[in-house]
Amino acid sequence: MFIIKNKFIYLGISSVLVIVSLIIIFTKGLNISIDFTGGSVMEVSYDVRPDIATIQSSFSELKYTGTVQPFGEKNIIVKTRDLSEKERENLVGTLTVDGHTPKIERFNSVGPSVGKELRSKAIIAMIIVMVMIILFVAYAFRHVARGRDGKRLGPSSSLYGVYAVVALLHDVVIPTGVFALLNIEVNSLFIVGLLSILGLSVNDTIVTFDRIRENLRTNSENKIAESFSNIVGRSITQTITRSISTSLTIMITLLILFLIGPESTKVLALVMLIGTFIGTYSSIFVASPLLVLSYKEVKE
């Protein structure tokens, strides 16, 4: 019950985090990868890979916009702007460090139009996911607003879907703000991570909502008079241990993957680690308290 009693504090914390994240995103901007802007990707291998810092220092002398990342034990991946044949030859020469000549494993170019298409599809995918969640939750909770006797029990079913998506927006904006603040490259794995967060977060939220529905139904059938805020508070108490335990298990796995996993999965692990923590918070401290607020407005 302490969560519902202090709902304005928790909602205030979320509001501040979202506002600060949006300010950072729009003022500092995101470090968008060539997956969305277009450019070139070159993977090279060495018999014995030189020190990454040395390779990065040599690459910086070309003054190409891009990044150098280790991949596996002997490979590196260079992401940069679209290169001409001459520039590609210069790049290979620059990657020859301490007598170690790289072997080109692959070289791909992503045109600006392809990058723009990927960006548009990523945005469309997230919008479709959120709309489908609203429709599904509204349908699943279609009988929750009133009891069998017609007495109003809580907010309309559509609001359950709307607030589930409000919590999801909260879960997407904050990790994005963190990436903007830290200037971490946003690539296709980042989008995969965000979509995974949506699934994990909405699962926690629906578990709590479902317990609210069951408690409302039980009270209605047994003619038990209990305020909606008490029912929501009791439902959160009944599900909070499950939500936190599940999230902690996932976060421990993601933390290990981020710390000792391959470089190629660090972005995915980091965005999911942040998103899982924020998503657990929103499912407990944001979505359900919003239901209480909306029902009070209806009653008044």
Identify the structural domains of the chain with CATH numbers, from first to last. 2-33+114-299 (1.20.1640.10), 39-110 (3.30.70.3400)
- What percent of the chain has a predicted confidence (pLDDT) above 90? 23
Q: What number is the average pLDDT over the span 39-61?
A: 84
pLDDT in tens, 174-198: 999 999 999 888 888 888 888 888 8
Widest pairwise Cα distance in the chain: 83
Confidence of residue 299 (pLDDT cuts 50, 70, 90): very low
Task: Write down the pLDDT at residue 300.
Answer: 39
Q: What is the C-alpha separation between 165 and 177, in angstroms, rounded? A: 18
Q: Is the pLDDT of residue 256 over 90?
A: yes
Task: Write down the pLDDT at residue 66.
Answer: 76
Task: Write down the pLDDT at residue 11.
Answer: 93
Q: Is the pLDDT of residue 297 over 50?
A: no
82-86, 112-116, 228-232: least confident range? 112-116
Task: Write down the pLDDT at residue 19.
Answer: 96
Task: Write down the pLDDT at residue 281.
Answer: 93
pTM above 0.85, yes or no: no
pLDDT in tens, 51-108: 888 888 888 888 777 778 887 778 888 888 777 788 888 888 888 887 788 888 888 7
Query: Bigger pLDDT: 79 or 8?
Result: 8
- What is the pLDDT of the chain when averaged over all its residues? 83
Q: Is the pLDDT of residue 109 over 80?
A: no
Task: Write down the pLDDT at residue 201.
Answer: 86
Q: Is the pLDDT of residue 266 over 90?
A: no
Q: What number is the average pLDDT over the span 42-56?
A: 84
Q: Is the pLDDT of residue 267 over 80?
A: yes
Query: Could you tell me which residues are beta bridge partners of residue 186?
Result: 32
Task: Write down the pLDDT at residue 115.
Answer: 61
Q: What is the C-alpha separation between 216 and 224, in angstroms, rounded? A: 9
Q: Is the pLDDT of residue 149 over 60?
A: no
Task: Write down the pLDDT at residue 16.
Answer: 95
What residues contact residue 261 under an 8 Å CB cut-off, 6+ apart? 269
Task: Write down the pLDDT at residue 31.
Answer: 83
